[in-house]
Structure 1
Amino acid sequence: MPCLTSDVQPFEAHATDADLGELRARLAAARLPEAETVRGTGRGRWDQGVPLADLTDLLEYWRTGYDWRAFEARLDRIGQFRTTIDGLGIHFLHRRSPRPDATPLVLTHGWPGSVAEFVDVVDELADPADAGAPAFHVVVPSLPGFGYSDKPATTGWGTEKIAAAWVELMGRLGYDRFAAHGGDWGGNITTVLGGRFPEHVLGIHSTFAAGLPGAATDGLTATERRWAEETHHFWRHRAAYAKQQATRPQTIGYALLDSPAGLLAWILDKFAEWSDTADSPFETISRDRVLDDVTLYWLTRSGASAARIYYESHNALDPDLRVDVPAAITMYPRDIEKCPRPLAQERYRQIVRWRAPEAGGHFPSLEVPGYFVGDLREGLAAVLAAQPAP
Structure 2
Amino acid sequence: MSEVGQPRQIRIDFPEADLDRLQRKLDDARLPDQEITGGLKPWEYGTELVKLRQLVNDWTNGNPKDSMRQSVGSARQGVKAWWKGVESQLNRFPHYTVQIEGLDIHYQHFKSPSSNNDAGAPVIPFIFSHGWPGCFTEAFHFASKLVESRAPRFEVIVPSLPGYGLSQAPLKKGWTLKDSARVFDTLMTSVLGFKSYMAQGGDWGSLVTRFLANSPHCTIAHINFAPPQPPIWTMPALILEHAGFKGVAPKSLELMGYHPQEVQGIKRAFEYQDQGNAYTKIQGTQPSTLGYGLYDNPVGILSWIMEKFHAWSDPRCPAFTTNSTNQFSHSFINDQEILTTVMIYYLTNSVHTSFLPYKESMQLFQKPDWKLWEPAKHKPFGYSSFPYELAAGPKSWLAKYGLNWQYYKMHDYGGHFAAL
Q: Normalising TM by the smaller chain, what interval?
A: 0.7 to 0.9
What's 2:241 paired with? none
* Structure 1 residue corresponding to 2:197, chosen from 178, 181, 184: 178
5 Å-filtered alignment, 1:107-186, equals 107-128=128-149, 131-132=150-151, 134-171=152-189, 172-186=191-205
5 Å-filtered alignment, 1:237-252, equals 237-252=275-290
Answer with 235-244 or 136-145: which moved more.
235-244
Q: CA distance change for structure 1 residues 271 and 226 in 2, over 3 Å: closer, same or farther?
A: closer
Q: Alpha-carbon deviation of 1:234?
A: 1.2
What's 1:63 paired with? 60
User: Distance between the aligned counterparts of 1:51 and 1:279, measured in 2?
Assistant: 16
Please give the per-residue CA displacement for 1:151-196, whole angstroms capped at 9, x wherever unaligned.
22321321110111111000110112100001111112112222x2
Please give the per-residue CA displacement for 1:321-355, whole angstroms capped at 9, x wherever unaligned.
34321011011000101132222123243211111
Q: Which has the larger radius of gyration?
A: 2
User: Distance between the aligned counterparts of 1:215 and 1:164, measured in 2?
Assistant: 34
5 Å-filtered alignment, 1:219-368, equals 221-222=257-258, 223=260, 224=262, 227-278=265-316, 281-283=319-321, 284=331, 285-317=333-365, 318-320=368-370, 321-322=373-374, 323-366=377-420
Q: Alpha-carbon deviation of 1:118?
A: 0.8
Contact in 2 for aligned 1:103/1:137 (Cα 8 Å):
yes
Answer with 66-75 or 180-189: which moved more.
66-75
Answer with 141-150 or 88-97: which moved more.
88-97
Q: Could you tell me which amino acid in structure 2 is paired with residue 136 of structure 1?
A: F
Q: CA distance change for structure 1 residues 25 and 216 in 2, over 3 Å: closer, same or farther?
A: farther
Is 1:91 aligned to 2:106, yes or no?
Answer: yes
TM-score under structure 1 length normalisation: 0.85
User: Distance between the aligned counterparts of 2:379 and 2:317, measured in 1?
Assistant: 39
User: Distance between the aligned counterparts of 1:208 and 1:149, measured in 2?
Assistant: 23
Q: CA distance change for structure 1 residues 226 and 288 in 2, over 3 Å: closer, same or farther?
A: closer
Contact in 1 for aligned 2:229/2:393 (Cα 8 Å):
no
Please give the per-residue CA displacement for 1:71-104, whole angstroms capped at 9, x wherever unaligned.
2222222110011111111000012244432200
User: Distance between the aligned counterparts of 1:226 and 1:269, measured in 2?
Assistant: 21
User: Distance between the aligned counterparts of 2:183 and 2:102, measured in 1?
Assistant: 11
User: Distance between the aligned counterparts of 2:310 and 2:319, measured in 1?
Assistant: 5
What's 1:376 paired with? none
User: Distance between the aligned counterparts of 1:279 and 1:212, measured in 2?
Assistant: 28
Is 1:191 aligned to 2:190, yes or no?
Answer: no
What's 1:377 paired with? none
List runs of 5+ in structure 2 lacking aligned partners.
64-81, 236-252, 322-330
Q: Alpha-carbon deviation of 1:244?
A: 1.2
Q: CA distance change for structure 1 residues 279 and 95 in 2, over 3 Å: closer, same or farther?
A: closer
Is the partner of 1:136 in helix, strand or coil?
A: strand
* Structure 2 residue corresponding to 1:203, chosen from 201, 217, 220: 220
What's 1:82 paired with? 97
* Paired-residue identity, %: 31
Contact in 2 for aligned 1:324/1:348 (Cα 8 Å):
no
Is the partner of 2:363 in helix, strand or coil?
A: coil
Contact in 2 for aligned 1:107/1:139 (Cα 8 Å):
yes
Contact in 1 for aligned 2:176/2:357 (Cα 8 Å):
yes
Q: Could you tell me which amino acid in structure 2 is paired with residue 82 of structure 1?
A: T
Q: Alpha-carbon deviation of 1:124?
A: 1.3
Q: CA distance change for structure 1 residues 69 and 47 in 2, over 3 Å: closer, same or farther?
A: same
Q: CA distance change for structure 1 residues 210 and 48 in 2, over 3 Å: closer, same or farther?
A: closer
Contact in 2 for aligned 1:159/1:313 (Cα 8 Å):
yes
Contact in 1 for aligned 2:162/2:170 (Cα 8 Å):
yes
* Structure 2 residue corresponding to 1:53, chosen from 37, 50, 63: 50
TM-score under structure 2 length normalisation: 0.79
Q: Alpha-carbon deviation of 1:146?
A: 0.5
Q: Alpha-carbon deviation of 1:282?
A: 4.5
Q: CA distance change for structure 1 residues 6 and 151 in 2, over 3 Å: closer, same or farther?
A: closer
Is the partner of 1:336 in helix, strand or coil?
A: coil
Contact in 1 for aligned 2:223/2:383 (Cα 8 Å):
yes
Answer with 142-151 or 30-39: which moved more.
30-39
5 Å-filtered alignment, 1:7-22, equals 7-22=6-21
Contact in 2 for aligned 1:327/1:353 (Cα 8 Å):
yes
Number of equivalent positions: 354
Q: Could you tell me which amino acid in structure 2 is paired with residue 53 of structure 1?
A: V
The alignment yields a C-alpha RMSD, in angstroms, of 2.2
User: Distance between the aligned counterparts of 1:361 and 1:39, measured in 2?
Assistant: 28
Is the partner of 2:199 in helix, strand or coil?
A: strand
Contact in 2 for aligned 1:272/1:280 (Cα 8 Å):
no
User: Distance between the aligned counterparts of 2:233 and 2:275, measured in 1?
Assistant: 22
